[in-house]
Structure 1
Amino acid sequence: MQRATSFKPAGSVADAPDGVVILPHDGRHLRRKLLHLDNGDMVMLDLKEPVLFHHGDRLLLDDGTTVEIQAAEERLFEIRARDTLHLIELAWHLGNRHLSAQIEADRILIQRDHVIRDMLVGLGAEVSDIVEPFQPVRGAYHSHGGHGSHGGHHEGRHGHG
């Protein structure tokens, strides 16, 4: 079985990967784990510290080959707003609730939560059920390759004054 102890960010490796592992967004925060590839092979990931992987990141294997991490399709809500300011307001409400969100120029994607859906509709958003890969914005306390890591941050809910 191959072992991976390092990685390269998406877009930094030109060669085709030798394998692919497909993971949902909450399964891409990894340090040590046995990964099952799409071709049936297994790779032992063994990093010094946890990393939040992006779609397209590459694991570097002991033999010099690479495995690409791909975002799995997930059941999401697609949120559309009346205009840019409304989209910003909706993003603020989601951030205030510490929800993982993929923010784009004309929409926001979140994991399905019917209580949040009701809130968004009440705020005038158009909310649709979709299934596609989910790549939420990395939080300020998540590390990727040693950038901005704060190991002790708790992402639970807390009150705001």
Structure 2
Amino acid sequence: MIIEQIVGNLDDISVSGRHIEKIYLSSDDLVKRIQRVTTDHGKEIGIRLKESKDLMDGDILFMDERNMIVISVMSDDLLVIQPANIKQMGEIAHQLGNRHLPAQFEGEVMLVQYDYLVEELLEQLDVPYSRQIRKVKKAFRHIGHHHG
């Protein structure tokens, strides 16, 4: 089976008694438009997306009256950063930007993939954080630019 488009997302569609097969992907694999994967039931599937859109947790690759094949993102080792004030937020955002480290935001917290150098930096700047094994909804994306 070759999948060329995403049918929808579990957040938007009722499962209503359908059997769900899952494809477990790392957050890094969400950016790959072409890949060969295996469901938790051993079914091999080729993904070749026509749109240049990242996969997300809960994306439905196939659905009929009885079955669904859904993307499930595996948990990442993350630093969950909770700056105490706007000054700390600015400092840490500036430092992470200098390192070209992709971040995501959920509510009042910043999420970055675990890096011991960033952990040391957070300690030095006295920024509140925790290290957690946690699932993200979308891929960590590097923002392309160059220094001119």
The two structures have a TM-score, normalised by structure 1, of: 0.71
Give the equivalent residue in structure 2 for 1:127.
129
Deviation at 1:125, TM superposition (A): 0.9
Offset from partner CA, 1:99-145 (integer Å, 9 cap, x none): 1212123321211111122222222212322101134577596xxxx
Structure 1 residue runs without a partner (length 5+) = 142-154
Runs of 4+ with >4 A deviation:
136-141
Are the aligned partners of 1:5 and 1:60 in contact in 2 as well (CA < 8 Å)? Answer: no
**Residue identity matched to 1:28:** L
Identical-pair percentage: 23
Identify the structure with bigger relative contact order (alpha carbons < 8 Å, sequence gap 6+): 2
Q: Distance in 2 between matches of 1:87 and 1:95?
A: 12
Distance 1:21 1:111 in 2: 22
User: What's the TM-score once normalised by structure 2's chain length?
Assistant: 0.76
Aligned counterparts, 1:87-102, within 5 A: 87-102=89-104
- Gap change, CA 1:31 and 1:136, over 3 Å in 2: closer
User: Take 1:127 and 1:9, find their aligned partners in 2: how far apart are those partners?
Assistant: 34
| SS across alignment from 1:52 | coil
Gaps of 5+ in 2: none
Q: How many residues align?
A: 144
Q: State yes or no: 1:19 paired with 2:18.
A: no
Change beyond 3 A, Cα 1:105–1:84: farther
